[in-house]
Amino acid sequence: MIPAPVIRVLVVDDDPLVRGGLRLMLGGAPDLEIVGDVADGDEVLEAVRRLEPEVVLMDVRMTRVDGISAIRTLRSEGLTRVPAVIVLTTFRTDATVLEALRAGAAGFLLKHTPPAEIVAAIRTAASGQPTVSGDVLRQLIDHVTAGEAPARIDGPDPLSPLTDREREVALAVAEGLGNAEIAGRLFLSHGSVKAHISSALAKLGLDNRIQLAILAHESRSAGR
């Protein structure tokens, strides 16, 4: 039996206890390798270039450069391969998490998430899939938009590049539906749903379905 490829992980957190705890927590997974850890966002780019991780576990708030800024830096530097970034946060409803997802994070984890779930999330992110469940995505969007009037989007609809079917799929993603649920609602095959999502991401210049969900939610809230 061929062993699973080892996933290289970089830990970024300004708390040495958190960094040490994650090393201990993840060290027992045979398919994960903690290739390094750094204490602040301004160290991330150099560490990624040197260590070439597939996944970065990134704290949000750090002393010099926050995690969101570090994500933007990674995405603007023309790296051959940008690692998937999972944001670490204390509160699920922290609005800064939504900003991190907009910046290109693959998802987020609560710092007290059980070890087995952290390992599973890292594997999911390494495979190119987001690590935020539909329920959590809905809760996060509801929290950020609670009590606000629908935002007015000036100019063209951000979903205008999409076909009608791609728009339907994008709006379903914004509801937090999984591919199987979307397929059932729209009478599509599972493969067709995946193809529509991939096409929508490419047309809109997005990286994952979380970003697509946010954009579709904003478009729908503006009455588009």
Question: Which CATH number is 7-132's, of 3.90.650.10, 3.40.50.2300, 3.40.50.150, 3.40.50.300?
Answer: 3.40.50.2300
Q: Determine the Cα–Cα distance for residues 155 and 224; give it in Å rounded to an integer.
A: 11
Under CATH, which number does the domain 134-224 receive? 1.10.10.10
Q: How far is CA 203 from CA 98, 165, 180, 212, 222, in A?
A: 22, 14, 23, 11, 20
Residue 91 DSSP class: -
Supply the pLDDT for residue 115: 86
Q: What phi and psi, each to the nearest 5 degrees, are found at residue 45?
A: -60, -50
**Strands of the 107-110 sheet, one edge to the other:** 32-38, 7-12, 55-59, 84-89, 107-110
CB-based contact 204:216 (threshold 8 Å): no
Beta-bridge partner residues of 32 = 7
What one-letter code names the amino acid at 130? Answer: P
Question: E strands along 120-168, which residues?
Answer: none
Q: Which H/E stretch holds residue 56?
A: strand 55-59
Supply the pLDDT for residue 120: 87
Q: What is the pTM of this model?
A: 0.70
- CATH 1.10.10.10 domain range(s) in the chain: 134-224
**Residue 211 corresponds to which tokens in the numbers above?**
């970003």
**Residue 77 corresponds to which tokens in the numbers above?**
């530097």
Supply the pLDDT for residue 50: 95
Q: How many CB atoms lie within 10 A of CB 36?
A: 17
Q: Determine the Cα–Cα distance for residues 166 and 175; give it in Å rounded to an integer.
A: 14
Supply the pLDDT for residue 51: 95
Supply the pLDDT for residue 149: 40
If we measure between CA atoms, which residue out of 216, 220, 100, 93 comes closest to residue 146?
93
Q: Compute the chain's Rg from CA coordinates.
A: 18
Supply the pLDDT for residue 35: 96
Q: Determine the Cα–Cα distance for residues 140 and 176; give it in Å rounded to an integer.
A: 11
Q: Determine the Cα–Cα distance for residues 27 and 103; give it in Å rounded to an integer.
A: 29
pLDDT tens for the chain, 224 residues: list them: 566 689 999 999 999 999 999 999 888 899 999 999 999 999 999 999 999 999 999 998 899 999 999 999 998 888 888 899 998 877 655 567 678 777 888 887 878 888 888 898 899 888 887 776 555 566 665 655 554 444 444 557 889 999 999 999 999 988 877 788 899 999 999 889 989 998 999 999 887 777 788 788 778 766 65
- CATH 3.40.50.2300 domain range(s) in the chain: 7-132
Give the 3-state DSSP-derived string for 108-165, with helices as H, strands as E and coil as C.
EEECCCCHHHHHHHHHHHHCCCCCCCHHHHHHHHHHHHCCCCCCCCCCCCCCCCCCHH
